[in-house]
Amino acid sequence: MINKYIFGKPFESEAVVDFPSDAKVFTDNKAIPGASVCVSNDFKMTIELDELDMIFGLGESLGGFNKRGKVFRSWCTDDPVHSEEKEALYGAHPYFIIYSPTKKTSSLYFIDYPGLVTLDMAFTFYDKVVVTVPNDNLNVYYIKEDSLLDTAKTFRAIIGKSFVEPFWAMGYCQSRWGYKSDEDIDAIIANHKKYSLPLDAIFMDIDYMESFRNFTVNKANFPDFKATVSKLKALGVHLVPIIDAGTKDCEEDEIDREGISNGYYCKTADGKVLRAAVWPGFAHFPDFLQERVRKWFGEKFKLLQQEGIDAFWIDMNEPVMFYSEEGIKAASKKLKEYAQLVLDDKLASGQIVAWQMKDAVGCLQNSMSDYESFFHEVPKTVAGALAQKEPCFKTQSADDVLVRHSDIHNLYAFNMAKAVSQANKGIFLLSRASYIGSHRYTSIWMGDNFSWWSHIELALHMLPSLNMAGFIHTGCDLGGFGCNTSRELLLRFLSLGIFTPLMRNHAACGTRAQECYNFEKVEDFRALLSLRYRLIPFLYNEVMKASLEGELMFTPLAFEYGEDEIALHCEDQLLLGKTVMIAPVYTANAIGRNVYLPQNMLELRCSSAQGCLSGKPQTRLLEKGAHFIKCAPNEVVFFVKEGCAIPVVDAALNTKELDYSTITYWGSENPVTPYELKYKGE
């Protein structure tokens, strides 16, 4: 069952694209099942929970599989410190499923509002979900099916099919903020060759550009970029350059001047082009909500495609603003005032002013007043009641109206990805920020995690909630982005990464070198990466089924073994498709971990000697129940359901070399249901 509840005149976000014609639509009707709704300039929905009710969903967010007991904000945010108490990450995915284990009911709520939505998941009141929106124009979707899985699948059905990455995107990707020249790229290639480490892509972070200007390549560091790209392509390695949302404010930059003269950029209330700083210093922000701007910006990617590039990642598209002109002026005024107070000795406590001074600078980035200060030009038919009643400047088209950025913040990255994807069919695309529906245009990664043990578990937690929102091709920065990784931590990160569609090692500048070949016993890394390639036909098939047929690739055990109380509450294992279960190690110095088997399963133990590079893993049947499973950092242990088997091919150093004619099966000797390999990569 799907119901849609329209309140006021919502902005048409395009999150939902396949709403069934026979589903029910209610207008200004507050009778959403299970909820009590209050509308008066703003919107408030309260849902009473039973003691044992569980909450799944919320896409890219912190917390466990079960989100009960936390507050979340749907608001695309660049906050690189993903500590437990944070409420918002880069993606804004305001949907959740309430599951009652006693009544066996699953109810999904999707609050389709492109500005701020606060989702208090039984935090303030232990038995209440409270959703608040500071506006009364929005759509709420309510879905109820017989099971958790069916409820999630119906949601997937209305938000459309997922963007499909090229096959090579299943290969190992090496990235680091700091690669800046031919020499850097050559060194990665040479080391991967030297140690027989597979490789399919190298990501180029902002340092490949000329003064951080989009669509430029630094000539001194890449004298013949076209030759670089084609040399790598011959080796089967794709270069993936980054493009940021903000475009450098620069007289000599033709693209920027084009943007100015055609009125492609967001403007502030005085009708002037918004200036705010990101990596290149002051930058302008394309108004991706306009179709003509999407076209213009999307076409610019062809400049790099002419050099042979066929893959991009787009970043800073929340959008991040380090500071605006207004912001920096106000902050420096405040700092002067505080400093004067200190110098005049007018303070009781020195500490307080130190904090205030820090705050005055700290709150410059991603400030709400900056987001409130600029506007988008949007068709009247789309804007609904979010249109400015008294426009502060004239729109360029008479059919358009002005909409304040803060009211539609979460659609900025959505429309940037749409721009790139629609103008460049068949490319690889990875975005940082997203909204519901972005999965039709792009893959996403999980943003700037840390080299923390808990961030292996966090990535595990996000996989199913992202899958429910249509993001199948995803993964975290393996090894951790911020701070220094250790050999053991990287091995354990990679052991999860073997199973995530995006397998990318990425690190921030200034951190310890994190490429596999920088650590002792490189052969252990070789074993793990090789195992990944052996599993690619299986993984790719699962990715395609999930992307095109609306299946989930990863599900918590609760989705399949809800009758089993232990499985229902299992927070650190995942089912992968209908055959496999993974249980990665995510603690330091561990010799293994406790694993709960919700049914009889085969344990597949892969090591350099058995399975990773060639041959079969050590395999044994384990009975339903709790087990301590030993697993050294250079081993990968995973589980196949009794009676099932999965396809595996010979190891390869590149996806181009994967040979489907070498398929063998791991798992049960005589599977009850043979594995169907429906989608083969090429």
Site for ligand MIG in 337-366 (CB under 6 A): none
Toward ligand MIG, which CB reaches closer, 205 or 370? 205
Alpha-carbon distance 170 to 537, whole Å?
9
Toward ligand MIG, which CB reaches closer, 99 or 322? 322
**What mask of x and - would describe binding to ligand MIG in positions 183 to 222, judged by CB under 6 A?**
----------------------xx----------------
Alpha-carbon distance 210 to 592, whole Å?
47
Toward ligand MIG, which CB reaches closer, 32 or 416? 416
Least gap, CB of 358 to ligand MIG (angstroms): 19
End-to-end CA distance of the chain: 39
| Among the listed residues 198, 437, 447, 617, the single contact to ligand MIG using CB under 6 A | 447
Report if residue 577 touches ligand MIG, rule: CB under 6 A.
Answer: no
Least gap, CB of 211 to ligand MIG (angstroms): 14
Report if residue 448 touches ligand MIG, rule: CB under 6 A.
Answer: yes
Least gap, CB of 278 to ligand MIG (angstroms): 8
With a CB cutoff of 8 Å and minimum separation 6, the contacts of 322 are: 276, 277, 278, 364, 365
Least gap, CB of 505 to ligand MIG (angstroms): 12
β-pairing verdict for 443-445 and 374-379? unpaired
Site for ligand MIG in 408-437 (CB under 6 A): 432
Toward ligand MIG, which CB reaches closer, 75 or 540? 75
Toward ligand MIG, which CB reaches closer, 447 or 562? 447
Least gap, CB of 578 to ligand MIG (angstroms): 33
Toward ligand MIG, which CB reaches closer, 243 or 576? 243
Contact 318, 77 (CB under 8 A): yes
Alpha-carbon distance 287 to 538, whole Å?
41
**What mask of x and - would describe binding to ligand MIG in positions 484 to 523, judged by CB under 6 A?**
----------------------x-----------------
β-pairing verdict for 42-48 and 35-40? antiparallel
Toward ligand MIG, which CB reaches closer, 206 or 237? 206
Toward ligand MIG, which CB reaches closer, 290 or 505? 505
Give the DSSP letter string of 185-201: HHHHHHHHHHTT---SE
Toward ligand MIG, which CB reaches closer, 216 or 599? 216
Torsion of CA 157, 163, 166, 169, to 10 degrees: -100
Measured CA angle at 476 (ends 475, 481), to 5 deg: 155
Least gap, CB of 287 to ligand MIG (angstroms): 22
Report if residue 60 touches ligand MIG, rule: CB under 6 A.
Answer: no
Contact 124, 44 (CB under 8 A): no
Report if residue 177 touches ligand MIG, rule: CB under 6 A.
Answer: yes
Instruction: Write out the H or E segment, with its range, that includes residue 604.
Output: strand 601-606
Alpha-carbon distance 531 to 516, whole Å?
15
Residue nearest to ligand MIG (CB): 177
**What mask of x and - would describe binding to ligand MIG in positions 227 to 246, judged by CB under 6 A?**
---------------x----
Token pair, residue 313, equals 């990642």
Alpha-carbon distance 26 to 35, whole Å?
15
Q: How far is CA 243 from CA 72, 206, 481, 510, 565, in A?
A: 29, 8, 18, 21, 47
Site for ligand MIG in 296-335 (CB under 6 A): 315-316
Report if residue 112 touches ligand MIG, rule: CB under 6 A.
Answer: no
Toward ligand MIG, which CB reaches closer, 242 or 640? 242
Total residues interacting with ligand MIG, rule: CB under 6 A = 10
| 677 torsion bin: left (phi>0), alpha (psi -120 to 50), beta (else) | beta
Contact 66, 54 (CB under 8 A): yes
Element counts in the chain: helices (H) and strands (E): 16, 39
Least gap, CB of 375 to ligand MIG (angstroms): 25
Interaction site with ligand MIG (CB under 6 A): 177, 205-206, 242, 315-316, 432, 447-448, 506
